[in-house]
Amino acid sequence: MSRVVDRIEVINFLIDARGYRRYLEIGCQYDVSFHAVRAAEKVGVDPASGGTLRMPSDEFFALAVEPFDVVLIDGDHHHDQVFRDVCHALRLLRPGGVVVMHDCLPPTAGHEALSLCGTAWRAFAKTRERPDLESFTGDFDFGVGIVQKRRNSAPVRIDRPMAALTYADFTANREAWMRPLSPDGVKILALTGPDAW
């Protein structure tokens, strides 16, 4: 594969490059991602359709104990739920595993307001504050956030809670908060492995 251009390709690239086997998807509507991901073991959680389990993500995480190599968060796009899903996913992540988040770079305020991307970007921006998480976004497919449990090499400080953040804050701080990378940049980091992140 010469270029990574969407979340599915990112996940499959990570599976191939790192030998990941266990995949969890939160939000499986129509199974577009779920069917295309090439993991040996897959669990999909959605309250309405798709995947393998019909329940809200909070209910799943309250019961889940098995670890995963890669987790896609693409369910409810409200920042509170996204952040909760990310925190729960990190608890189940195997060493060297990755959480992938969709819709972290809404191209317009309308994409946020109409819930096309929702406010998922706010949850990603908050991960950038944590000293124990290294994260960046692929600048494609409405923003593919990648989060790993590792020392944060470029932490930021956001002085307001997620609910108080605005799209104007997003545009003013996009580079620092979101750390956007080209498809080739994402591929290079995926190839270098967790020790280089």
Tell me, what CATH number does 192's domain have? 3.40.50.150
Q: Is residue 136 in a domain?
A: yes
Domain annotation covers residue 49:
yes
93: CB partners within 8 A, 6+ apart: 67, 68, 69, 71, 99, 149
Residue 182 inside a domain? The answer is yes
2 assigned to some structural domain:
no
Domain that holds residue 136: 7-196
Q: Give the pLDDT confidence of 73-121 residue by residue, as tens digits.
A: 999 999 999 999 999 999 999 999 999 999 999 999 888 876 679 999 9
| Domain count within the chain | 1
pLDDT, tens only, 55-80: 999 999 999 999 999 999 999 999 99
